[in-house]
Structure 1
């Protein structure tokens, strides 16, 4: 019980603790102190669900249906380019970058953006459903379900830690200049990930 639980947690963290579109989005919401709870829940519970489906065998189907990942891939590229453009546009207007200003903070827009960043990234499916599913199934029964639990708890804990822990950085983002730097970083991250999807495929 303990060993597969820890293996699941370690495997999950090794895949999500990295600079990426999802983490950048959660971090920004945390610093703004806007809708952190729904964002963390969406990201964490999505990981948990996809890991469960992967161990249940859906990951094998995804791996054998590259056309589905191609559709998600190009949808993800389009969204990441749009999000990079939006971040760059904010960065070029530092006078409106102070946390809490503007219409971007609405709950509906935040949730839609979070869902898009989460589900339009084919690597989410490869990491959670295919890779985690393969590792989990190698544990055998009933250990694979403890593996899923470990991975799910690690994902949920990480996104809550990232979102609420980012509040400690709020005082460093009291000026428009700091937000300008953050948004340029976000724009670059989104562009790099989009470029990887275009030129590197999804690695199936």
Structure 2
């Protein structure tokens, strides 16, 4: 029973976390630039662990019953995603400034932490996926099932973010070319704007 709940949490958690989103896109970009990668990975994992645990513990019900709170989270998230999309679009127009290994305009740790937290917590889809969906399914498990289900989902997040953050270095040869950064930043801009629009569709 416990093994089944653990595997269910691992499988469902993996299917939700691997989808391309603002959090994954920002982490990938930081990993390719090799700027505070471990810090970003740790923030992603910590946020997911806390949200999954809160969801399984019953916080999902509070979000469902507080539509006004979710609405303001959508407003804040859409604004942030739109602004970062503009920033990525501007970077795509200046690929010569984005060559891998350059740190002329490297951000400081505090700004990276703030951005990673924003990408992790200002996207309402994060709450719907981790707190509401995973929380409701995990909460339906019997006996100690919720604990094992949450553990499986948390492991999925840990494995994914660690692989994405630490494995991106193998793509470095590709991103030694400015045009590769142009394509990546253009895709990130599109993803950010699409997510901002989807919050109200």
**TM-score (ref. length: structure 2):** 0.95
CA distance in 2, matches of 1:4, 1:173: 40
Matched residue, 2:81 = 80
Count of residue pairs the alignment pairs up: 199
CA distance in 2, matches of 1:10, 1:168: 26
What per-residue deviation string (whole Å, max 9, x for no partner) do you get for residues 105-134 of structure 1?
321111111011111101111111110011
Asked if 1:22 corresponds to 2:1, the answer is: no
Asked if 1:110 corresponds to 2:112, the answer is: yes
2:35/2:106 contact within 8 Å kept: no
**Stretch deviating more after TM superposition (99-108 or 28-37):** 99-108
Matched residue, 2:149 = 147
Matched residue, 2:67 = 66
Gaps of 5+ in 1: none
CA distance in 2, matches of 1:104, 1:83: 16
Matched residue, 2:8 = 7
What per-residue deviation string (whole Å, max 9, x for no partner) do you get for residues 7-63 of structure 1?
111111111111111111111111112111111111111111111111111111111
Task: Show the 5 A alignment for 1:82-101.
Answer: 82-99=83-100, 100-101=102-103
Matched residue, 1:191 = 193
Per-residue deviation at 1:141? 2.2
Matched residue, 2:176 = 174
CA distance in 1, matches of 2:143, 2:41: 30
Asked if 1:128 corresponds to 2:102, the answer is: no
What root-mean-square deviation, in Å, do the aligned CA atoms of Structure 1 and Structure 2 show?
1.1
Per-residue deviation at 1:104? 4.1
CA distance in 2, matches of 1:91, 1:149: 39
Runs of 4+ with >4 A deviation: none
Gaps of 5+ in 2: none
Per-residue deviation at 1:86? 0.3
CA distance in 1, matches of 2:104, 2:68: 39
Of residues 113, 136, 139, the one that matches 1:137 is: 139
